């Protein structure tokens, strides 16, 4: 896995897992890879993965069963999706619109680009 330098690795792992839940790579009630497995997979220090899992556990997205592993919580999908939708509508879209004004860009041009990309993108 490739990491972006500008964000901390443990947060990128958090995103990787929540995104995995959104696209059904990990399903509610199922086990996710152990800290060690994950660390090997993505070539990262196990401490870092531990931190990500702690963060996810705190947000009630995964749960630890001692001695067995981490499992995706019930309702995790819904919570993640709601969070992201809120983030999108309350922060990202407003920021985008403000940028358009600043750059003297018309809304229509950008919408056109979005439409094109929206259809192109397979996944």
Q: Is 114 in the site for a copy of itself (CB under 8 A)?
A: yes
* DSSP line for 45-95: -HHHHHHHHHHHHHTTSEEEETTTEEEEPTTHHHHHHHHHHHHIIIIIHHH
Q: Is 102 in the site for a copy of itself (CB under 8 A)?
A: yes
Cβ at position 12, least distance to a copy of itself in Å = 11
Q: Is 22 in the site for a copy of itself (CB under 8 A)?
A: yes
Q: Is 2 in the site for a copy of itself (CB under 8 A)?
A: no
Element (H, E) at 15: helix 9-22
26 and 32 Cβ atoms separated by less than 8 Å: yes
Task: Tell me how far apart the alpha carbons of residues 16 and 19 are, in angstroms, rounded to a whole number.
Answer: 5
Judged by CB under 7 A, the chain residues 37 through 96 that form the site for DNA are 37, 44-48, 50-51, 53-54, 57, 64, 66-70
Residues that bind DNA (CB under 7 A): 8-11, 34-37, 44-48, 50-51, 53-54, 57, 64, 66-70
């Amino acid at each position: 896995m490739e990491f972006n330098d500008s964000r901390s690795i443990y947060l990128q792992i958090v995103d990787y897992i929540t995104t995995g839940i959104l696209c059904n790579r990990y399903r509610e009630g199922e086990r996710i890879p152990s800290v060690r497995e994950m660390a090997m997979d993505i070539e990262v220090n196990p401490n870092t993965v531990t931190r990500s899992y702690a963060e996810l556990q705190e947000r009630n997205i995964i749960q630890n069963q001692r001695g067995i592993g981490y499992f995706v919580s019930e309702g995790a999908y819904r919570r993640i999706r709601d969070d992201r939708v809120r983030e999108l509508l309350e922060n990202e879209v407003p920021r985008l619109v403000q940028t358009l004004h600043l750059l003297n860009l018309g809304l229509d041009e950008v919408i056109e680009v979005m439409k094109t990309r929206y259809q192109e993108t397979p996944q």
